[in-house]
Structure formats: structure tokens, C-alpha cells
Chains A and B, each alone.
Chain A
Amino acid sequence: MHYTIIPLIRKHITGEITGEERETLARWIDEHHDNKAFFDRVTSGNGITERERFFRQTDKQRRLREFDRLIGYRKRRALAAARYYAAAAIVVIALLVWQAWPVPREIPAGEHAAIKPGSTRATLTVSDGTVFSLQSGGSQPIDAEGIARVDSTRAGIVYADRPDKSVRQRRDILRTSRGGEYRVYLPDGSMVYLNADTRLEYPVPFDADKREVQLSGEAYFEIAKERERPFHVIVDGIRVQVHGTTFAMSTREKDGIQTVLIEGSIGIQSATTGKEIMMSPGQLALFSREGELLALKHVNVYPYIAWKDGKFIFEEEELEHIMQTLSLWYDVEIAYLDDTIRRHPFTGHLRRYDDIYTILNAIAQIIDVDFEVNGRVITVKDTR
């Protein structure tokens, strides 16, 4: 089977074929008279017209509906269903984990009262340098123009969608510190959920022809679709072009900038090469800070965004990475007595708003590790 020739013949027919491909195709045609006969037949006959006519007459839509019913597929709700499924799986796994370890080992407590999980708080800096401290409660306008207000029910800051020409454009900076998280509902209806120690900068209102934000840290994006006004996320050496979509980004991976696409489509352009990489849902792209593509692969996306639903989902994740996540969320420092333990993988589903001892106990029950808490420092020890 000459599978590699299929796209070349198609490109030949649509006129997309390039020089090198043309040569490859020509070589293939010359290789054997059967090849030539085949090429002539598909390019000169009325095969395409015949199929077009035929395809119009099939009962595909009805058959597809029947098939969807058989497999239980539901359009558009597929993602919601996947989330529900994920949540169900978490419950099951967590129960299994706890029952498998009936006698929990206690972690020496030390002075631990000070360590708390993160909470809904951030600061907003507007153009003139004024800094507003945002907490969760209340629902009040926070800036003089009344464009932004805190909405406690949505646990974030909401911008009014006012294409008012009289208001001068300004640049707002939303920052969460270690142990903070915050949502922002931008004037176009898009939502960005900032994890701890994250900074998002954006103009208010957006430009007429583009929506551009700058990110460092980790955030989850749900972008409102606007055909005429592309949404861009700029991070170091890359620019993410969004076409109405849900995705998560983190700039704090050791190796660079990590983007996970949940739904929709995005293209990531490298500032250095100018090349754009298109991502499809379920993919993870890793870029260096300079904008070099290091990896593009399919992943189970949920662990990457579970934090937004108040969960930590670790799947075969290295302890060091897990501790780094905890360090940001609980605002603690991590020290290792043994370096070998850093690479140790842990799998588990935990709750993000739990006390840190619950989290540490759960980890210590699964892998051979002990934690010692002193003030805001957690020391990790190998117990093997």
C-alpha cells in the first residue's frame, strides 16, 4: 500500500503541491506502470463527481444519529460528560486509597498552625499605579471609573463590557501571591482563572482589533469566541493565538512554558522563529522560554486543570513537582534530606482546600517518605 502517496496526489489535484513533493510524486509514477495507470485514473476520471453525487444521497445523518445513540455520544456535552466522569473516578480512587491504608502514620506536628491552604485574594494595579487589594467578600466597584468590580459569588473581578470611547484605555495588572487564587472576567466575557503566584496584564478595554494579555505563572483560560478580534496570550518567547477555546498555561515548568488545550483550537507562535504550531484538544505543548518547541504530545488533560475545581490530581508525578505545587499553594518552603526521593512518583487525588497535614499524610501513606514541618519549612525524608 502506498499510503504516503495519497496526500501527494490530493495536493496535485488541488494545486497545493510543492516542488519537492512534485518530484517525489513523479518518481513514484515512473516506478511502475501500475502507478502511472492509477495516477491517470484518479486524476482524469470522474471519480470525484461520482462520489460527490453518491455521498449526497446516503442517509449518513440518520445513521450517524443511530450510531451516536448506540455508543452514548452526545454532541457538545461531551466535555461536560468527561468532567463528570473524571469527578466520579476521583471519588472511587480516593476511597480505594484510604481503605488500603487503615492505619495512618502520623506526621510530627511542630508549629503548624500558621500553614493554611490558599484562598481567594489578589491585588489589582491600574495604570496610575494605584493598587487595590481584592478579597473574596462583598460586591463593590473598585476603581474610580467603576469599570471593574469584585463579584463575590463569582469569586473574582468582573469588568463591565462598555465600548465607551470616552474612557481612556488603561493597563491593569492582576496579581496573586503565593497562597492566593483569583478569577477575572474580562470585558469580552472571557474568564481567566489565576493560580497562586501568577501575574496577568491586559488593557482595559481591549483594542478594537485584538485582545492581548500577558501571563506569567499558571492560569486556566475560557476564551469567548470573537471571529473579528483574536485573543492572544503573550509569554516570554511565545505568542498563543486563541480561536475560542479552553486551555491552561503554566510558565513555571522547569523546562519552559507549558500549554494544555482542553477544547477548541489554538496556535502557538514562536517569537524567534515566527513559526506557528497548531494544537488540537487533548494536546500538551512545551516550549522553551526562547520559543523553541520542546514537546507536543497527547495527554490526559484533567490533572493539569484539576486545580481550578479545587483538586490536586497527581498521576505518576515526581514528588519534587508535587512539593513545588504545594509550596506555592500553602506558601511554604521545601527542603530535601535525600535527593533520591525527589524523583519518586506519586499517584493520588487530593483536595486543594484541605489542611496541609491531610495532604502530607496521604502522600506519606503511599510512598516511603516522611515530612517534618518546622514553621513554614517542610523537610522531606526518605524512609526506605
Chain B
Amino acid sequence: MAIDERAIIEQINRKNKQAFHDLFNDFFNSLVYFSTRYVGRKEVAEDIVQELFAGLWESNREYLSYNGFKTFLYTSVKHMSLDWLKHKKVEERYLSAKGTETDDEMDWKIMEEEIYRALLQAVGELPRRCREIFHLHLQGKKNEEIAASLGLSILTVKTQKKKASRYIRERMGKLYLLLLLLHVIEAA
């Protein structure tokens, strides 16, 4: 993995446009969600994330590892969000966000976001039928409920679910790369 991750970091350090476009595309939603947890307003969060990416593009900072870079993205979003709160004198929110969160808690939050980011991207790769069923499955719906809401037999739901898992696994070749690009896979 190291090779690909190093390559991605290299592209970012070299200010490769494609790499930055992909980066924005891959991380925007998750980072906006992350920021919204502090600032409470989606539009503000979007501004913050956009500002972050513009800053990244213009900065001369170089990154050593991909994981370090990801952590940097999330922590930057957090700091920018807290700055916004402070600036807007939303003291109450600012203090509660700043005062109570430990580094550990921050790490868990980042991990949570990374898992959901990876999941949604992986599922987005599935064929439509599989995806519908898989979505409901991910929402914690039981086979019976999925069958009822989509007007399918329970057997079909079961086979489609299996198919979805198999599909993802079989496409690991391509998906593996995809996930590499999404920086989800660390080591085999």
C-alpha cells in the first residue's frame, strides 16, 4: 500500500490538479458533515471546507504520510470551525466544543467519519438493484422488511445481499484500487 499512498501524497505535494480535484470530491461531504457537528450550519461548514481546500492548494506545506494528511484535514476543519464559533461569539458552543473534547475523542470522530466515507463510496459502486437492497440492509432493516418495502421475495433479498457482498469482493481488484484512492485500505 505504501507505494500508492506515497504516490498520492507525492501528487498532493506536487500540486497535481487531478489529485486535488479527486481529493475535494472524495472528502468534501465528510468534512462538511464533520464541521457541521461544531458550527451547526451546513452552509457555514461548506464555506469552511472550501476555504480549507483553497488554503491547501495555496500552501507550501508538504505532507509526509497519507494518514497524517487525513488527520490534518479533519483537525484543520475542527480548528477552522472553532475559530468561526469564536469569531461569531457563539461562546457557549465554542466553549463546549473546545473544552470537553479530548484528543482521543477527536480520533474516534475521525475514524467514524472515515468508515462512513468508505462505506458510502463502496456501496455507490454496486449495481442499482443490489444497492437498493444493500442500503436498506445498512439501515439495519431485516430481510422481511426489505422484501416488503421493495415488493420482493425474501429469497430474492437474501440472494441479492449475497450477490452484493460477492460483487464487492470480486471487484476488490478494481475496488481495491478505489479504496486505495479513498485511502481506506492500509495494509492487506
Interface residues of A (CB under 8 A from B): 1-7, 9-10, 13-16, 34, 38, 41-42, 44, 46-49, 51-52, 54-55, 57-60, 63-64, 66-68, 70-73, 78, 265, 267, 276, 278, 280, 282, 296-298
Does B18 belong to the interface (CB within 8 Å)? Answer: yes
Does B110 belong to the interface (CB within 8 Å)? Answer: yes
Does B24 belong to the interface (CB within 8 Å)? Answer: yes
Contact A41 B139 (CB under 8 A): no
Contact string against A for B residues 131-147, beta-carbon threshold 8 Å, 1 for contact and 0 otherwise = 00011001110000000
A59 CB to nearest chain B CB (Å):
6
Interface of B is mostly: helix
Known: A47-B112, A51-B116, A71-B17. A3 touches B186 (CB 8 A): yes
CA distance A265 to B164 in the complex (A): 23
Contact A1 B71 (CB under 8 A): yes
B22 CB to nearest chain A CB (Å):
10
CA distance A288 to B57 in the complex (A): 40
Q: 5 shortest A-B CB distances, which residue pairs?
A: A15-B165, A298-B7, A73-B17, A55-B29, A4-B186
Does B179 belong to the interface (CB within 8 Å)? Answer: yes
Residue of A nearest to B7 (CB): A298
Contact B122 A78 (CB under 8 A): no
| Interfacial chain B residues near A9, Cβ < 8 Å | 115
| Interfacial chain B residues near A296, Cβ < 8 Å | 3
Interface residues of B (CB under 8 A from A): 3-4, 6-7, 10, 17-18, 20-21, 24-25, 28-30, 32-33, 36, 42, 46, 49-50, 53-54, 57, 67, 71, 104, 107-108, 110-112, 114-116, 118-120, 122-123, 134-135, 138-140, 161, 164-165, 168-169, 172-174, 176-177, 179-181, 184-187
Contact B10 A298 (CB under 8 A): yes
Contact B116 A70 (CB under 8 A): no
| Interfacial chain B residues near A70, Cβ < 8 Å | 54, 57
A-B residue pair count with CB separations less than 8 angstroms: 145
Residue of A nearest to B138 (CB): A48
| Interfacial chain B residues near A10, Cβ < 8 Å | 115, 118-119, 122, 184
| Interfacial chain B residues near A38, Cβ < 8 Å | 108, 111-112
CA distance A70 to B53 in the complex (A): 10
B52 CB to nearest chain A CB (Å):
10
Excluding A6-B118, A34-B104, 11 further A-B contacts by CB distance (< 8 Å) are A3-B114, A9-B115, A14-B123, A14-B165, A38-B112, A44-B140, A46-B139, A51-B116, A60-B28, A63-B49, A73-B20
CA distance A10 to B123 in the complex (A): 10
Contact A267 B33 (CB under 8 A): no
Known: A6-B184, A13-B138, A67-B53. A278 touches B33 (CB 8 A): no
Contact B20 A42 (CB under 8 A): no
| Interfacial chain A residues near B168, Cβ < 8 Å | 14-16
| Interfacial chain B residues near A57, Cβ < 8 Å | 42
CA distance A64 to B177 in the complex (A): 23
CA distance A47 to B37 in the complex (A): 13
CA distance A16 to B107 in the complex (A): 25
Known: A47-B112, A57-B42, A297-B3. A14 touches B140 (CB 8 A): no
| Interfacial chain A residues near B184, Cβ < 8 Å | 6-7, 10
A90 CB to nearest chain B CB (Å):
18
Which residue from A7, A16, A47, A58 sits with its C-beta under 8 Å from B169?
A16
Known: A14-B119, A14-B164, A38-B108. A58 touches B138 (CB 8 A): no
CA distance A4 to B186 in the complex (A): 6
Which residue from B42, B107, B116, B122 sits with its C-beta under 8 Å from A14?
B122
Which residue from A44, A64, A71, A282 sits with its C-beta under 8 Å from B25?
A64
Residue of A nearest to B67 (CB): A3
Residue of B nearest to A267 (CB): B173
B133 CB to nearest chain A CB (Å):
12
CA distance A47 to B3 in the complex (A): 32
B26 CB to nearest chain A CB (Å):
11
Residue of A nearest to B186 (CB): A4
